[in-house]
Amino acid sequence: MKLVIQRVKQARVTVGGETVARIGRGAVILVGASRGDTPEDVRYLARKTAQLRIHDDEAGRLNKALAPGEGEFLVVSQFTLYGDCRHGNRPSYMQAAPPEQAAPLCEAFAAELEHLGYGVQRGRFGEMMLVELTNDGPVTILLESTGRTAP
């Protein structure tokens, strides 16, 4: 799995003009699932996301994780994170998980964050979404489950 995590002051997702998700302070998390991803990848990335120290501490340094109740997460599926542009100009999405595999993995990721005590909003899997956000910092972090050293 691949994640793009953006610290935000606020964010929302609309589908067909309807707001389907909205958060205040927290993070927008774009989630890309690959063909080889497992429930272990989901758990690893959810724990890593929850423990990311990308918020300001009392000294104004990026040294604090978002505690439950201090903000929310907005999880949005994003298969294009697996776009491979090494050959030509049209991305190949061969490594992206098919929808029937990716949808449960994205939902499991959001559910795991909820299990850890966080408020979680979700985009709509497979829909054309408009994601609006106020990037805070800006702070943007990339995380992947491949190559991890601990489960």
Q: 6, 78, 109, 121: which is the annotated catalytic residue?
A: 78
- Per the annotation, the verdict on 109 as an active-site residue is no
User: Hey, which residues does 30 pair with through a beta bridge?
Assistant: 4, 76
- Per the annotation, the verdict on 78 as an active-site residue is yes
Give the integer Cα–Cα distance in Å for 79 and 96. 6
Token couple for 123: 């985009």
- Per the annotation, the verdict on 73 as an active-site residue is no
Q: 6, 14, 73, 79: which is the annotated catalytic residue?
A: 79
Q: 19, 38, 51, 80: which is the annotated catalytic residue?
A: 80
Tell me phi and psi for residue 115, to 5 degrees.
-60, -30
Q: Are strands 72-77 and 119-122 parallel, antiparallel or unpaired?
A: parallel
Catalogue the active-site residues: 78-80
